[in-house]
Structure 1
Amino acid sequence: MHNATSHPFCLRLAVTPGVSSSQLSALLALHRAEEPDVSVSFFEVTGEELQAGLREGRYDVGVSLQVSGDPALQTQPLWTEIMAAALPPRFRLLERGKLTLSDLQDYPVYRWQEEVCPLLDEELTALMPLDQQNVQRVTSFEMMALWVAAGYGIGIAAHSRIVRAHEWGLSMRPLADGPYEVVTYLQRPYVQAEATDRFERRALQVAKLG
């Protein structure tokens, strides 16, 4: 608790694109319920900005899909998302319960580049050379869903995102030759800070429940 003369503490949280919104929302709601006197300032940043800001003391904690190789930063894995295929309505592959990446070779495949999954992208590159332009990069999940729902190809994204987009007409099929995983990491300086320690414990609690 803060005394009458202290200033309320503000936790500076930096988040990179692609982090699962449902778990992050649950984490922020838990933080607000358990520690309402510690406010959160939210920053949307790139991976490079995140690591530089943590090193320079501009942020207290970061959440990202990329592992930090910076020895000055502590990295803690949180929750994991399984990648799946998003198919348009009345698509010929809907009759199959699961798909392999090889099943997708004859179709344009849309990938949101911020949803980082190195193993998946390596396999796609091996199956679909860049000069064939089968893999189309998009700037958001919503843009991927737009193209897929309109029947222009197949999307690959986190299972939970595709399920939530069912009302757009998308159907989800698991990828049989995985698992292809997207891992969310919490990153912070090694400097001990009680508010940051508590936030990390809540993040691990949300990860365990999810």
Structure 2
Amino acid sequence: MVSLIQTLAVAEYLNFRHAANALRVSQSSVSARIKALEEDLGIPLFERNTRGVRLTEAGRHFVERVAAGVDQLDYAVKTASLAASGDCGHLRIGLHGLIPGSFLDGLLTRYRAEHPAIAVEMVEGSARDAVKQLRAHRIDVAFLVGMFDLPDCHSRPIWTEPLVAALPSNHRLAEQSGVTWTNLAGETFLVRHGGTGPQVHDHIVLRLAGRWPPPAIQRFEVERGTLLSMIAQGFGITLLGAASGLFPTGGVVFLPIVDEPEPVVFSAVWLPQNRTASLRNLLALANKMGRSTQSN
């Protein structure tokens, strides 16, 4: 590599002494290295005379390609350094959904502002889907509802939201400031097969266990927006994190469940062997924002 750099310097200055001065090495060292390189290649790169040197035709072609290779190597070194510090690269995130104004929306907005050269990709799905994607190394981290204790994954609670009930705006309870589980016991619940649907289903069963008749739960293969439209049309009600109320849907009201003992926990889940700086930076920012939210 040193011989190539010195060759480029001589090709630029067309003078061994000037090239050596620019490189801060001795002229004899430059001459010796280039002579050894020419012998290894079996071709002369420079024509030498009393007035200086000039490139041979073979030398000109050689220098052009070496210069291009050095530029690519320099770029590779710089991008590798940026990737090591988390300032460039890719970050693939699994999530249930993204609501404007939510904690996760704020986190990703701030992260992208602080690390604009990171290409952020998002994959939406259920917790089960996200864990499968993590284990297959298709995503780097997942932000999911609930607490996780997986033997092959790290997880950490990041933020919480109160649980709310989404009801049609003409529902008998719509004018109340809040509802209880007793109020909801006779309702028909709508849940999705994907997204947070499995957790919502299990939570309803847990809270209404032992009641008769058992809770009526209907499951649909729809997106969140379609589910809320079905609620507005009177098909039933559902449960959501309070951030859903930040993105109002016509014909739907969001009421807190006043006897729900704990808020909904959202966790980050990732593989322990994933030590990329881009992921570390995201988790550090999530922790910082989470602490700030709790202190407020």
- Match for 1:27: what amino acid? L
- In 2, Cα distance between the equivalents of 1:128 and 1:136? 17
1:85 is aligned to 2:169: no
Count residues in correspondence: 205
Three-state SS of the structure 2 residue aligned to 1:72 is coil
1:157 is aligned to 2:247: no
- Offset, 1:19: 6.2
Which range moves more in the overlay, 109-118 or 171-180? Answer: 109-118
- In 1, Cα distance between the equivalents of 2:129 and 2:191? 23
Higher relative contact order (CA 8 A, sep 6+): 1
Instruction: Please identify which structure carries the higher helix content.
Output: 2
**Residues 139-172 of structure 1, C-alpha deviations (whole Å, 9 max, x = no match):** 333233212212333332222213522x502222
Alpha carbons of 1:57 and 1:146: their partners in 2 closer, same or farther (altered >3 Å)? closer
Question: What fraction of aligned residue pairs are identical, expressed as a percent?
Answer: 22
Matched with 1:124 is 208
Q: 2:191 aligns with which of 102, 106, 111?
A: 111
So what's the TM-score if we normalise by structure 1?
Answer: 0.79
- Offset, 1:31: 1.4
1:143 is aligned to 2:222: no
Alpha carbons of 1:29 and 1:146: their partners in 2 closer, same or farther (altered >3 Å)? same
Three-state SS of the structure 1 residue aligned to 2:90 is strand
Say if 2:164 and 2:256, in contact at 8 Å, map to a contact too: yes
- Match for 1:198: what amino acid? N
- Offset, 1:70: 2.5
- In 2, Cα distance between the equivalents of 1:112 and 1:126? 23
- Match for 1:110: what amino acid? L
Unaligned runs of 5+ in 2: 1-73
Instruction: Please identify which structure carries the higher strand content.
Output: 1
- In 2, Cα distance between the equivalents of 1:36 and 1:91? 46
Say if 2:134 and 2:140, in contact at 8 Å, map to a contact too: yes
Alignment of 1:1-210 (within 5 A): 4-6=75-77, 7=79, 9-18=88-97, 22-112=102-192, 114-115=195-196, 116-117=199-200, 118-127=202-211, 129=213, 134-138=216-220, 139-165=222-248, 167-179=249-261, 181-191=263-273, 192-210=275-293
- Offset, 1:82: 1.5
For the pair shown, which has the larger CA radius of gyration, 1 or 2? 2
Say if 2:145 and 2:267, in contact at 8 Å, map to a contact too: yes
Three-state SS of the structure 1 residue aligned to 2:186 is coil
Which range moves more in the overlay, 41-50 or 150-159? Answer: 41-50
Say if 2:91 and 2:279, in contact at 8 Å, map to a contact too: no
Alpha carbons of 1:56 and 1:95: their partners in 2 closer, same or farther (altered >3 Å)? closer
